[in-house]
Structure 1
Amino acid sequence: MARILHIAFPDEWAAAQAAGAYRMSTRGTSLDDGATFIHASRFEQVGATANRFYADVSQPLLLLVIDTERLVSALCDEDLDGSGTTFPHLYGPLNLDAVVDVLAYERGADGRWPEVSPQAVS
């Protein structure tokens, strides 16, 4: 099973469960707002992504662990900024049954969002 991660706020995940699908693209933007895809990361990308885009967030976050084989919407691996690094992008809503685990994600003792290893999730 190939897995990717999406950083989520707890209230947005709860709303998705009530609605039947997750539609948040990234922090503060959803597919309903005109975003074309949902941002995701591989395990080795999560810490850097969180520290770049969630640096000012003090509340704990969630990591949605997604089984890519269960996805209904199209998944593409893309380098949109020309940096040479690709990220997984989900073009459409995230079906809830593709989320195989939900992990609490909290800052480390050093104040930074930590890296996540696949072994920590298995």
Structure 2
Amino acid sequence: MTKILHVAIVDDWEASRPFGEYEVSTRAVPFVDAGFVHATTVDRLPEVLGRVYGSLQLPLVLIVLDVEELQAAGIEVVLEPEPRVLAPLPTAGPAVVTELPLERDGSGAWQSPQTLP
């Protein structure tokens, strides 16, 4: 299983659930404007959290995605140079491995989870 990660604002992710699709590319950028959903890898997550979300005070959730399950659902995924999902994300089903709330450390920086499923 190849996993990629997407950082979402909790309110955006929860608001998408009734529709079955999450249509946000990244912070303040809708899918319709970008044409894809930004994703990242485990090793790049700290950089994304700091650079893109460092100043954000809203709660975040880390969405762990299974690339093969996305592709099985007919959703194209590009892995290089940065992971991108070329369709809105499903909010449930086998492609969504797990959702992990993100927290800040003592200095106020977003923390990467210690382990991922």
The bucket for the TM-score relative to the shorter chain is 0.7 to 0.9
Q: Quote how far apart the aligned CAs of 1:110 are.
A: 2.4
The match for 2:82 is 87
* Identical residues among aligned pairs (%): 34
- Stretches of 4+ aligned residues off by more than 6 angstroms: none
TM-score normalized with structure 2 length = 0.87
Q: Within the alignment, does 1:30 sit opposite 2:25 as a pair? A: no
Within 5 Å, give how 1:12-91 maps onto structure 2: 12-32=12-32, 34-71=33-70, 72-78=74-80, 86-91=81-86
- TM-superposed CA distance for 1:88, in Å, is 0.3
Residues 1:106 and 2:106 are matched in the alignment: no
The separation in 1 between residues aligned to 2:24 and 2:103, in whole angstroms, is 20
Give aligned pairs, total: 112
Computed over aligned residues only, the root mean square deviation of the Cα atoms, in angstroms, reads 1.4
Instruction: Extract unaligned runs of 5+ from structure 1.
Output: 79-85
* C-alpha contact 1:44 1:115 (8 A) present in aligned 2: no
User: Normalised by the size of structure 1, how large is the TM-score?
Assistant: 0.84
Contact 1:46/1:116 (8 A) holds in 2: no
The runs of 5 or more residues in structure 2 that have no matched partner are none
